[in-house]
Structures are given as C-alpha cells and as structure tokens.
Structure 1
Amino acid sequence: MTHRVGILGATGAVGQRFIQLLDGHPQFEIACLTASDASAGKPYREAAKWRLDSAIPKPVRDITVRATDPAEIPDDVDLLFSSLPSGVAAEIEPDLCAAGYVVSSNSSNDRMADDVPLTIPEINPDHLDLIEVQRDERGWDGALVKNPNCSTITMVPTLAALDEFGLERAQVSTLQAVSGAGYSGVTSMEIIDNAIPHIGGEEEKMETESRKLLGDFDGAELSLHSAEVAASCNRIPTIDGHLENVFAELADDPEPADVRAAMESYPSADLPSSPDQLIHVFGDDRPERPQPRMDRMRGDGMQVVAGGVQTTPAGVKYNCLAHNTIRGAAGASLLNGELLANEGWI
C-alpha cells in the first residue's frame, strides 16, 4: 500500500534530506510540501536553495509549496514528516494532530513529554503504544511521534547493546559536524581552524532523551532508564557525521570481544530504510576508525559505526559515529514513519 505524505519545512536542510530519501520510496509518495509564507505559492525548484549533492528529484520539482497551516494540508495525506524549527513546530504540530494528521517529527519540542513517543524503531518500537495514551489525554484523532536528537541517536543504539551487561552510567564527549547547526548555523570564521566546546541545549538533550529511549513502557506509563548520562558537546569543522567518545560503566565486566559481539549482533528493524546491520563495529586492528569522512555513509547513511573498544576500571570505552542529517534526522523520522505504517497507525 502506498501512503501519501507531506513534508513540513521542506525547503530547509533536513527537509531536503526528506525529499532525497523519499525519492522512489516503496511505501510513501510525496503529495504535499510546506514552508514559510515567503516560499508558499512557488514551485519547489524555485522555493528551495537546493544544497545536496544530488539533483532535486523530478517528481517534486514542480510541486507548489504550501503554507504550513492545517487548512493547507490535503485531506488525503496519511502522514506528515516535520522538520520545522522547534518554536514553530510547538505551535503548529498540535493543531495538525488535533485535525487528525499523524506527524513524525524531527523537531525538538515535546520530545520529553510524558505522552509523546520518542522512538528509534530498532530500540523501543513498543513506545509507539503511547499514542493511545496521547489520544486519550489530548483528544486527538491524529498523533505526534518524535525521533531524538542527532547526537543521541548516534550513541543510544550502542548503549542499548551494552544494557545486557548492566548499564549504570555513561559519559560522552561529542565531535559534531557543522551541518547539525543548519546551513547558516555556524559561520566559516567561527569554525575554520577551530573547535567550539559548547552547543546550546545539546548536552541536556543527550542526557534526558537517552534515558527515555532506554526506558520501559508498561502500557500506561513510561519510566526512564536508571542509568546516569553526562554529555559534553563540541562543534568541529567536519561537514557531516557526528563522532562520539563514550565511557560506559557496567555492572558486569565484559571483555572487549564481548562488547563488540553485543553491538554487532544487536538486531536491526525489518523496515524499508533499515540497514541490514544496525551497528558496524571495527576490530582492535583498526583503532583509528570510525572516521566521519570514511564511515558516515555506511548503510546509505543509516548505520551506526563503532570502534576503539577497550576496557576501563569501571566498564568500557569506545567511539561511535553516525550521519547526523540522515540517520540522525530525516532518516530517523522516515524510519518512524515506516514503523507507524507497518504497525497500522496510519
């Protein structure tokens, strides 16, 4: 079955990734594109300053961009992918859900709301059942589902694999690409020959979202994972690919080979955009990997890559990497959309 979908904020960096990833998708057909009032009424090819290294897909070039307003969305659209700025999304997304639309959103608003699923399909697909709680509490016919922050998505699959050893605490230092801030987010004078050891709000997102993603849902209420998470987030002059140094404290005392095996065997999801293997792990013969330029496009940009696994007095340390605008943003929302479709929510 083919579902008609819309993209909110279609002219931005993540919106462009949505269009790229949805081109030729087996389940979804783009039927609606929205953007700011300044872009509304223009064909997409004129409204968007296309910045990806592939051409604008032909099926969307002449689609007329609409204003981001519930009244502008066609009634026969089954699913909306949102890449709106969080302030705009906080105002518009609830109205869309109240109007009956299902929204798979990359925007940061409401990620930690008690009744909003924050979902990575390979990690916590059962959290989608929070939609029932959400609809009961808010009186919506539609639904709002979120994917986590791009740096959180990079780390959490590896922590989920380690949870079999009794995850107690995690500390992470990130080396995040400039594309995570948007095309105009960091100026060249700021980042060339430099590193910026602070990204506003990023540390808090990693510290809270990780525990929600790894938490338990009992059918009525979600409890956060007991592990403590501390993050230090840094911007560096790579274009794409967030690299992270993780230190995990565990109840058990696994060998590096056991850790690598747990990550490598952690199951992927049976969805069209899922990689065959969720986590690729480099052995101890390649301690210099993963690297952003070399490894961000593994699994078409949807795979998490880990390496440098070593033991510490308290547990293990390792590096992990993912493409921040594919796996960490548009691709994450797309996976959630595929899960919503497969589970019968749309």
Structure 2
Amino acid sequence: MTTVGVLGATGAVGQRFVQLLDDHGEFDLSVVTASPSSAGDSYREAANWGLDTPIPEETADLTVRATDPGAIPDDTDLLFSALPSDVGAAVEPELCEAGFVVSSNASNERRADDVPLVIPEVNADHLDLIDVQRDQRGWDGALVKNPNCSTITMVPTLAALDEFGLERVHVSTLQAVSGAGYSGVTSMEILDNVVPHIGGEEEKMETESRKLLGEFTGTEVDDHDAVVSASCNRVPTLDGHLENVFVETRDDPAPEDVAAALADAPTLDLPSAPDPLIEVFEDPERPQPRLDRMRGDGMAIAAGGIQTTDTGIQYNCLAHNTIRGAAGASILNGELLARDGWL
C-alpha cells in the first residue's frame, strides 16, 4: 500500500479527499493536516463534516498535524493538497524541497513552465516535466497539479474533438455553489439568483485548457493554438458544473461524428478512472446536474445536446466539480504517479 496524506483536510475539498480515500485499494490515508488552530485535535473534532456519507472511522481518530514539512512523517509516499492557493504557494514548494511528492488541487503554479498540469486521460505524458522540474529546482520531491474544476469538465471533450482540427472555443458555464467552498457564497446571494462572474475563473479556463491540450516537447509544453474564451456564472445548484460549449474546427463533422468521437474518448486502467470517460446522451435535455453528476462515481464527463451551427459545433457537458473537478482529479493523478514510478 502507498502511504498518503491530505493537506488542508478539514475544508470542503479536503473532506472529499478523505471520503474518496476511504477503502481505496492502493492508498492508505495516515496523515491529515490543517491550520495551526486544529493541530493536535482528532480529525473528528477538527472537521465540521458536511458530506452525505459518515466520516470514515479510521480517519476520524487520526490526530491532525500542522501543515509543515517537519510535522509529516518522512515515509509518507504521496501528499494530496486541498490547500487554499495562497497557503499552497507558501507550503507546497517547501514540502517538495523536503522530498515529498505533492498532487495538488490548489491553483498556484498551474501555469508554471516546469509544473505538470495533468488530466491523466488527456496528457499523461506531461508528467515527464517532473524531470525538468527536479533539475531546475533541485527538488527530490515533485509538484503535480490538476486543473480548475470548470476546465476539467470541458477539456476531455475538447481533446476528443481535436481530431477535427480544434481552432476556437467559447464556453459559458453554470457552476455549482460547492465550487466556492462552504462559506464562498451566501444563501442571500445565490437563492433566486445567478451571479454572472466568478473571479479569475475565466482566465483559468482560457489558459489551462491550452496547456492541457499542448504538446510536451521533452523540455517544455507548447500550448495548443486554439483560442479559448470563457464566461463563468454561479448558479444555485449544489454540485455539478454544466457548461455550454461552442467549438469551431478545421473540418466540418456531422453531429453523429462528434458524438462518436466523444463516446470513444480513451480511458485508463487506474482505480479511479471511469469507463467510459465521456457518457453521451441523445436526449437534448441531458446532461443535468442532479441526474448526471455521479456518472462513473462522479468521475465521468457527461455530454449531450450535440448539434451543428453556422459556425461549428455546439454541445453541453457536465462533471461533478468536487469529485472529478477537484479531489478525485488529484487522486487520479496520484494513481498515475504511482503506476508510472514517480513515487
């Protein structure tokens, strides 16, 4: 078994890590960290558990540690980071310098030239950037990132359609409130309402997508040439980001060709990888967050509403934002790191 820990384990994404790692066949969760005010408490005491499954008993009895290299046992093989980006920016490099491998959901350094930004089914070869990273930074450990929750919903579909010559993408998102964390959006802000802006979200989608779809040259990633534009909106659903995607391609595929390309998107032989990666609906009213966010145990992408327009292809896609879009994505990256011998 691979010994793992969760950094920032008491927050919304941290709790999702704990839930998904319970009874994981390859990972043994033995370390949980949080803020200094929680250090020394049991996880049961420190976490205001908010998920719809019971808190895992073995994890509940763990003592919360400080998020500090000196507080984490040296024999911890892999750390999953649910830290806020400002904390991650300060702590994650220290952990990597101390020899730990960190699979992080935090947004800091996603665009760094030597940091792999990975969706395993899309760009597993980008993990080879770890060699560049270790050479440049002098680390024994490594830092690997998964993308933003809205980006990870869309990019697997774009990767599947790149065979038609991806040129331009516009996406409008309908993002669930859980993406903002427990205290991110108040009920007075979101009930009977839509918030047509999420700070920094558009830029993340526009830049991260091109890096994920880019080509690893052996020393760096050349971003994809496609132009990506995003409009991000917060809506009153609990979980599941729904996105309306408009794609212009070099070729002119028919809707049935688009559906086939999405349905045939390759998956991987990893414990958390869904099969199929993308579930395609013929019903134009699907996917819907409440009905389809748990496809593939929350790790699949759902797509539907496929049609051609005067300018290209239009479709909708959906994923569970705290599973596929956050904790589950980091765990899948961790499984890839373990399989490919990076730990």
Alignment of 1:212-223 (within 5 A): 212-223=211-222
Partner of 2:268: 269
Q: Which residue of 1 aligns with 2:80?
A: 81
Aligned length: 343
Match of 1:289? Answer: 286
C-alpha distance in structure 2 between counterparts of 1:313 and 1:141, whole Å: 52
Q: Which runs of 5+ in 2 are unaligned?
A: none
**C-alpha displacement of 1:67:** 0.5
Find the aligned partners of 2:64 and 2:33 in 1 and give their Cα distance: 5
Residue identity matched to 2:284: P
Match of 2:99 in 1: 100
**Distance (Å, rounded) in 2 between the aligned partners of 1:250 and 1:218:** 24
Amino acid of the structure 2 residue aligned with 1:126: D
Q: Distance in 2 between matches of 1:129 and 1:104?
A: 14
Q: Match for residue 336 of structure 2?
A: 339
Q: Whole-Å Cα distance in 1 between the matches of residues 59 and 305 of structure 2?
A: 42
Deviation at residue 23 of structure 1 after TM alignment: 0.6
Q: Deviations over 1:166-193 (max 9, x none)?
A: 0000000000000000011000000000
Aligned residue in 2 for 1:200 = 199
Deviation at 1:276, TM superposition (A): 1.2
How far apart are the structure 1 equivalents of 2:207 and 2:275?
Answer: 28
* Secondary structure of 1:4's aligned partner: strand
Q: Which residue of 1 aligns with 2:11?
A: 12
Aligned to 2:311: 314
CA RMSD of aligned residues (A): 0.4
SS of corresponding position for 1:155: helix
How far apart in 2 are the matches of 1:92 and 1:155? 29
The Cα of 1:59 is off from its aligned counterpart by 1.1
Q: Distance in 1 between matches of 2:311 and 2:190?
A: 35
For residue 230 of structure 1, give the secondary structure of its aligned residue in structure 2: strand
- Which residue of structure 2 lines up, in the alignment, with residue 259 of structure 1? 258
Distance 2:13 2:40 in 1: 21
**SS state at 2:73 partner:** coil
Equivalents in 2 of 1:144, 1:116: separation in Å?
6
Cα deviation 1:28-59 (Å, max 9, x = unaligned): 00110000011100000000000000001111
Aligned counterparts of 1:274 and 1:80: Cα–Cα separation in 2: 19
Instruction: Say whether residues 1:304 and 2:301 are aligned partners.
Output: yes
Once structures 1 and 2 are overlaid, which stretch shifts more, 107-116 or 308-317? 308-317
Unaligned residue ranges in structure 1 (runs of 5+)? none
* Pairing of 1:100-139 with structure 2 (within 5 A): 100-139=99-138
Q: By how many angstroms is 1:131 displaced?
A: 0.1
Which residue number corresponds to residue 23 of structure 1?
22
- The one-letter amino acid paired with 2:216 is F
Match of 1:49 in 2: 48
SS in 2 for 1:327: helix
Q: Distance in 1 between matches of 2:88 and 2:320?
A: 23
Identity of aligned residues (%): 73
Q: Which residue matches 1:34?
A: 33
TM-superposed CA distance for 1:314, in Å, is: 2.1
- Counterpart in 2 of 1:153? 152
Aligned match of 2:210:
211
TM-score relative to the length of structure 1: 0.99
TM-score, reference length from structure 2: 1.00
